[in-house]
Amino acid sequence: MAGRFAPSPTSDLHLGNLRTALLAWLFARSTGRDFLLRIEDLDQVRVAAAAGLAERQLRDLAALGIDHDGEVVRQSDRLALYESALAKLDVYECYCSRREIAESAQAPHGDGHRPYPGTCRELTEADRAAKRVERPAALRVRAGGVTWTATDALYGPVTGVVDDFVLRRGDGTFAYNLAVVVDDGAQGVDQVVRGDDLRSSVPRQAWLAHRLGLTPPTYAHVPLAVGPDGRRLAKRDGAVTMTDLAGLGVTPTEVLTTLAASLGLARPGERVTPAGLLDRFDPAALSRAPWVVTPNRVQPS
Ligand code: GLU
Ligand code: ZN
């Protein structure tokens, strides 16, 4: 049994990401689970543009006292695993451009994901041969619009329609939705705690786990951090990463206190450790409201 934190190494972890990591650690450790770290670095273009980020993310987590079990896993080392999962699934080639899908009649779901209209689902082999010349094919799984439900610890049942989503992009990159399900299954992760922005992917991922003969994990989607303007916390909000904050003289211990205080687990200025928070942590008491961060308030105590 294990929980995990699985950052993409494309930007430094900000206070919201760090709070999610702390929550994932608390959920795992308070239930006797291992805690794993996984670097989700399949998008090689974005990763190359952000060299050294994975190392900084790991360093920041360690500085907060968020420890982990086993070796840190990198998705870029695990392509054979995704390939063999792909071989077990009913997939078909899709030649649609983003624009063609955007121009199709279907309205986006609430999360902005536009359900695939099925354009390439029933092409003949002759059609495919002709299309392949025009554009490298993505691979989509034949899900056929099934409705799927899984349970979230904070939100209860999460239900959604599963469209024929992409498992491998036209450039050969395995899709997040495939890799995350394969890895959680292969690593024995049975508890997924992550930001609320990913809640809408639950039906897709739980369905895919089921298709691969895996037991879907339990989910907890935790609140995002937002800036004073209510938008998702970002660089424009000021000092929001450990590096920014260190530049202002804020220590990792003080960052941890800020995170714990935002969860009602510490008093402002109190010295805490992650392990010291375990007795205070009650998942049932977690708020679902976003955490409003006023960056210049995160100060040395
Ligand atoms: N790598 C994803 C992210 O950075 C998280 C994946 C997950 O937790 O399922 O947002
Ligand atoms: Zn298509």
Task: Kindly report the protein residue whose alpha carbon is nearest to atom 9 of ligand 1.
Answer: 180
Closest ligand to 180 CA?
1
Pick 111 or 69 by higher pLDDT. Answer: 69
pLDDT tier for residue 105 given thresholds of 50, 70 and 90: low
Closest ligand to 191 CA?
1
Residue 19 has pLDDT above 70, yes or no: yes
Q: Say whether 53 sits in a helix, a strand or coil.
A: helix
Distance between Cα 170 and ligand 1 center (Å): 21
User: Are 2-76+225-292 and 78-222 in the same CATH fold?
Assistant: yes
- CATH classification of 78-222 is 3.40.50.620, yes or no? yes
pLDDT tier for residue 138 given thresholds of 50, 70 and 90: very high
Ligand 1 binding pocket (C-beta < 6 A) is: 6-8, 40, 180, 194, 198
Residue 299 has pLDDT above 70, yes or no: no
CA 232 from centroid of its chain's CA atoms:
15
Task: Kindly report the protein residue whose alpha carbon is nearest to atom 7 of ligand 1.
Answer: 6
Q: What is the pTM of this model?
A: 0.95
CB atoms near residue 10 (< 10 Å): 16
Closest atom of ligand 1 to 184 CA is: 9
Sequence ranges of the domains in the chain: 2-76+225-292, 78-222
Cβ density class 85-98: b for 16+ within 10 Å, e for less: bbeebebbbbbbee
pLDDT of residue 99: 86
Q: Of all residues in the chain, what percent carry a pLDDT higher than 90?
A: 87
The span from the first CA to the last CA of the chain, in angstroms, equals: 37
Distance between Cα 163 and ligand 2 center (Å): 12
Supply 97's token pair.
């451009």
* Top mutation candidate among 4, 13, 182, 194 for ligand 1, by most atoms within 8 Å of CB: 194
CATH fold of the domain at 2-76+225-292: Rossmann fold (3.40.50)
pLDDT tier for residue 176 given thresholds of 50, 70 and 90: very high
pLDDT of residue 115: 87
Nearest of 158, 287, 290, 159 to residue 219 by alpha carbon: 158
Q: In whole angstroms, what is the distance from residue 143 CA to residue 145 CA?
A: 6
Q: In whole angstroms, what is the distance from residue 256 CA to residue 35 CA?
A: 18
Residue 140 has pLDDT above 80, yes or no: yes
Task: Kindly report the protein residue whose alpha carbon is nearest to atom 6 of ligand 1.
Answer: 6
Q: Say whether 4 sits in a helix, a strand or coil.
A: strand
pLDDT of residue 45: 85
Give tens-digit pLDDT for 232-290: 999 999 999 999 999 999 999 999 999 999 999 999 999 999 999 999 999 999 999 99
Pick 114 or 110 by higher pLDDT. Answer: 114
